[in-house]
Amino acid sequence: MSQSLAVAAADESWMESAQNLAAELSLPYLGAVDPAETDSFAQLLMVGDALSLCATGRKAPGPVWVDFVGGAVAHRRKFGGGKGQQIAKAVGVRGGFYPRVVDATAGLGRDAFVLASLGCEVLMLERNPVVRALLRDGLRRLRDAAETDSELAPIAARLSLDDSGLPASEWLVKQPAESIPVVYLDPMFPQREKSARVKKEMVAFHQLVGSDEDADALLEPAYAACYYRTVVKRPRVAPFLAGQKPSVSLEGKSGRFDVYTRHGMSRHGMSRHGMSRHGMSRQGMSNKE
């Protein structure tokens, strides 16, 4: 773990939790400090009401945290277009069919939350231990909010995090062949220097995570593990993952979803959440479905 990152507490009441997290992640612990007054580390993992990643210094951008309750995700949940969204079409959501999804490159979990809000059961994988800690904290706050919010309760029940810490390629290889309905991949793509779309607060996150240089190695184990399809989210101008042409691509203004289909899902004996009594159907379906 890079020593450009340390753990700190938002105030004295969070010091014990912060110290425990620092030990878990093998990171330096600074006590209760203000990120704006700190310059000995480039970033701080701040423990408080919400766990957040903060750049340090007086002119640093705002913090990054996982928010499954308010802000942009709440707006998208209510006004984002529901099943008409490209991501819903890409994973195959339609009618009463909500496939189970493994988001193998979860990041901050935004797409995973969208899929869970649409009705899919979603398991998030994330190999970076700091990002995994952010996801775990976001899930904790989602479940706390779900206790008093009937709209969030079913979403919280459908969203989970694998805490093994295994790289996605290793995790996928360990799964039985064709055992996962949908594998979703959104590997970090190198930021173009001229891009103005990246918010300043996300720069610290990109610096922490870096680009997924081994992204091409994900496609083969993902496709082997999936039953229905593997979906890859890419910038619009990016090459196909591993150089493999998808069955179909759904393009938007700045990005696209490459869909690698394997089998179809039978409409017979299927519950409203897309699973038959015996698990998965073997009936074929065309790529357009």
The binding site for S-adenosyl-L-methionine consists of 110-111, 126-127, 186
* Whether 50 contacts 87, CB under 8 Å: no
Q: Tell me, what DSSP letter sits at residue 227?
A: E
> How far apart (Å, rounded) are the C-alpha atoms in residues 223 and 229?
7
Angle ∠(53,58,63) on CA atoms, nearest 5? 20
Burial 182-220 (b: 16+ CB within 10 A, else e): bbbbbbbeeeeeeeeeeeebbebbeebbeebeebebbbb
31 membership: H or E segment, kind and range: strand 29-32
> How far apart (Å, rounded) are the C-alpha atoms in residues 35 and 44?
7
Can you say which residues are annotated as belonging to the binding site?
Answer: 110-111, 126-127, 186
Strand order in the sheet with 52-55: 29-32, 5-9, 43-47, 52-55
Report phi then psi at 233, rounded to 5.
-90, 130
> How far apart (Å, rounded) are the C-alpha atoms in residues 33 and 10?
7
